[in-house]
Structure formats: structure tokens, C-alpha cells
């Protein structure tokens, strides 16, 4: 048998090197994997997956964390605006008890503050990620303020309580994403 010539050895080494480099090079995570990794760090994995999955832009842009942050903040703002609209509608009712009215006034202020914080965070994404991170984290205080007022006044409005849970969820999602920027 003939010994392998240098051309065969070089070809083998080149193929081996190419295979080695390709197999060890870092690969980008698929958009779904990025979303799953983010959601694992939030207060509710399942609700986070559901929330981010509700926006069709998520699958296209999830690899870009700033784009994903913007998507989550857009969802947060829209969700908070829907809850604020409900609060304003309830405030207009004539047959609302004094305690309910006072709780709704506090929740109205809380939701206005939450929306302002989410909008501020969205604006800060490209300028100061740390400020965006702080703005989105403080939204939890707005949800707590509304909840505490309802509890202290012995008022139960399940849709507003659900809205407060959503504020906490979107705050958590936004916080996790902006913390990675």
C-alpha cells in the first residue's frame, strides 16, 4: 500500500478544520428560544409566552432584544390603556359607592402613572437602558397602590385586579429584557 500523499493529508486536515470551526462557532438562538429564555426569568413563564406570542412581530424580531423590549412595552401600554378605559367607565357610573369611587380614583392615578412609566421606558430604550429598566420596574408600585386601595376600602373589582396582575407581568417582562440590554 502506498503512503498517503501530502495532498490527501492537507485535504483531510482542511476538511477537519472546517468541520471543527463550523461545529464550535456560536449560533444565534432562534427567536422562540430567546422568548423562552426571557420568559423563564419572569414572574410567570406561561403568561409571558402567551403575552409575547400575541404580537406577530415577536417571531420576526425576538433575536433583537431592543426590538423585543419595544414589543413588550407596546403590549404593556395597550393593556394598561384598556384597563384605564374600564376604570374611567366605572368612574362615570352614578350608582358607585363612596369607597368604590375613592378606590377607582386611586386606580385611575395608578394606571396613568403606569402608562407614563411604560412610555418613558420605551423612549429610553435607545438612549439609556438603565433608566428604561428602572422605569419599567417601578410599574409594580402602581399595581400595588391600586390593589392596596381596593383592599383598604373593601372593594372587589376582579377585572381591575386582573389588570394589576397584567401590569406586574409586563413590568417583569420589560425588566428582564431591559436588564439584558
Query: Each residue of 90-112: pLDDT tens digit?
Result: 999 999 999 999 999 999 999 99
Residue 3 lies in a domain: no
Instruction: Pinpoint the alpha helices (H) of the chain.
Output: 6-24, 31-40, 45-53, 57-61, 65-92, 98-124, 129-137, 139-152, 158-179
Angle (deg, nearest 10), helices 65-92 and 45-53? 90
DSSP state of 180: T
Residue 126 lies in a domain: yes
Residue 11 is predicted with a pLDDT of 54
Could you give phi then psi for residue 156, rounded to 5 degrees?
-120, 115
Query: CATH number of the domain that 42 lies in?
Result: 1.20.140.40
Residue 147 lies in a domain: yes
Residue 30 is predicted with a pLDDT of 84
Residue-number span of the structural domain to which 99 is assigned: 29-179
CA distance 20 to 32: 27
CA distance 87 to 107: 7
Residue 70 lies in a domain: yes
Residue 50 is predicted with a pLDDT of 98
Residue 125 lies in a domain: yes
Residue 154 lies in a domain: yes
Residue 132 lies in a domain: yes
Residue 131 lies in a domain: yes
Residue 31 is predicted with a pLDDT of 82
Residues in the chain predicted with pLDDT less than 70, given as ranges, are 1-29
pTM: 0.83
Amino acid at each position: 500500500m502506498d503512503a498517503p500523499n501530502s495532498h490527501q493529508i492537507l485535504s483531510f486536515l482542511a476538511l477537519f478544520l472546517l468541520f471543527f470551526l463550523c461545529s464550535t462557532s456560536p449560533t444565534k438562538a432562534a427567536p422562540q428560544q430567546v422568548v423562552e429564555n426571557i420568559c423563564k426569568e419572569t414572574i410567570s413563564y406561561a403568561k409571558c409566552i402567551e403575552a409575547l406570542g400575541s404580537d406577530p412581530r415577536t417571531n420576526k424580531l425576538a433575536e433583537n432584544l431592543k426590538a423585543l423590549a419595544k414589543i413588550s412595552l407596546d403590549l404593556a401600554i395597550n393593556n394598561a390603556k384598556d384597563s384605564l378605559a374600564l376604570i374611567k367607565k366605572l368612574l362615570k357610573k352614578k350608582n358607585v359607592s363612596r369607597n368604590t369611587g375613592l378606590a377607582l380614583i386611586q386606580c385611575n392615578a395608578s394606571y396613568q402613572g403606569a402608562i407614563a412609566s411604560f412610555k418613558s421606558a420605551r423612549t429610553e430604550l435607545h438612549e439609556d437602558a438603565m433608566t428604561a429598566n428602572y422605569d419599567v420596574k417601578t410599574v409594580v408600585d402602581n399595581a400595588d397602590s391600586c390593589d392596596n386601595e381596593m383592599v383598604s376600602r373593601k372593594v372587589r373589582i376582579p377585572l381591575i385586579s386582573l389588570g394589576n396582575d397584567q401590569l406586574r407581568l409586563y413590568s417583569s417582562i420589560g425588566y428582564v429584557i431591559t436588564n439584558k440590554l
